[in-house]
Amino acid sequence: MNKIESMNRLTLHHKAHITVLRAEHLGMCFGVRDAINFAQSKVADHPITVMGELVHNTTVLNDLKKRGVRFEDKPEQVETKSAMITAHGASNRTRNRAKAAGLQISDATCPLVHYAHKQILELTAIGYHPIIIGRLGHVEVRGLTEDLSEYDVVLCEDEINALTAKPRFGVVAQTTQPIARVRALVKHLKSGFPNSEVRFIDTVCKPTKQRQSAAEKLARKSDMVLVVGGINSNNTHELMRTCRRFCERVHHVQGPDEILAEWLFDTDTIGITAGTSTPDELIDAVENRVYSISSLNIRKVS
């Protein structure tokens, strides 16, 4: 949206006695968008199975299924000749299993996830004990760790306190972690292990940083914030946590139907942000729903 469109939008909402603000950066990132386009173009040519959840959004997934894209978790379950790795990436171990199963691989790994893989492997190769700041079990973290013989995944100070001391720690982060948390945990690691060398490579992706800092600014000036995103989306939950630090009323919605009218009572300024799997149409639908509920409320009062 350009500046003039943005101003028109705000004017429109003022007329309805409510202001809707969108975060300066929100919604689908280039990595997810490219992966979806990639799957669409591949399936138009031949049957393909995506290994894992391509995007944490049921609307987009259902659209891909309608186009014929199949989804399986493991290479051994794939029945098509061609299999696709998602934007979240995969370990070499998974790639080799797919090759051993006779699959042709289409790789939609986001370049910024590739960067995280490269950094952790390089740190390990030169003698650092690998630490990943991220959510244990998340598909991206599984991809980052599966090729390592030893590693630790941490997400809080207690988990750092429980680490065994090593001469050298090499630290990267899951790409969708808030950079403020990552930096705080690196600092904690350094102070908790003063005799260890700690080398940190910042692998949090730029779209995540932009969405996080825009969410903070948005939450500071909103009475209520709606965070639009899939239930399995890590970055959506991180946006929720950030907004809650600066605004008391924050709601997670997967779509417009989940917005409750009571959330809008006594609310002048509503902020909207969205995770990196959320398509523009869904954000528009949420905004339109807010506007239509607020109009209903106005009629009810008068």
| Distance of alpha carbon 95 from alpha carbon 194, whole angstroms | 38
Smallest separation, CB 38 to ligand SF4 (Å) = 12
Specify whether the CB–CB gap between 173 and 154 falls below 8 A: no
Which entry of 53, 140, 216, 287 is annotated as an active-site residue?
A: 140
Identify the bridge partners of residue 252 per DSSP, sorted by sequence position: 227
Structure tokens at 32: 């997810």
Identify the bridge partners of residue 71 per DSSP, sorted by sequence position: 50
**Residue closer to ligand SF4, measured from CB, 198 or 243:** 243
**Residue closer to ligand SF4, measured from CB, 49 or 234:** 234
| Distance of alpha carbon 57 from alpha carbon 59, whole angstroms | 6
Q: Which residues, in sequence order, are CB contacts of 144 under 8 Å at separation 6+?
A: 89, 91, 116, 117, 120, 132, 134, 172, 174
**Residue closer to ligand SF4, measured from CB, 143 or 256:** 143
Specify whether the CB–CB gap between 272 and 283 falls below 8 A: yes
Smallest separation, CB 86 to ligand SF4 (Å) = 9
Smallest separation, CB 18 to ligand SF4 (Å) = 31
262 is catalytic: no
The residues of the shown chain that bind ligand SF4, judged by CB under 6 A, are 29-32, 87, 110, 112-113, 175-176, 205, 207-208, 276
Closest CA to 243 of 26, 14, 11: 26
**Residue closer to ligand SF4, measured from CB, 32 or 189:** 32
Instruction: List phi, psi (to 5°) of 75.
Output: -55, -35
Identify the bridge partners of residue 273 per DSSP, sorted by sequence position: 227
Closest CA to 291 of 14, 26, 23: 14
| Distance of alpha carbon 293 from alpha carbon 224, whole angstroms | 15
Measured from each CB, the residue nearest to ligand SF4 is 31
Within the chain, residue ranges assigned H as helices are 3-15, 30-45, 58-66, 92-100, 111-125, 139-145, 157-161, 179-192, 206-220, 234-246, 280-301
Smallest separation, CB 25 to ligand SF4 (Å) = 11
Tell me which residues are annotated as active site: 140
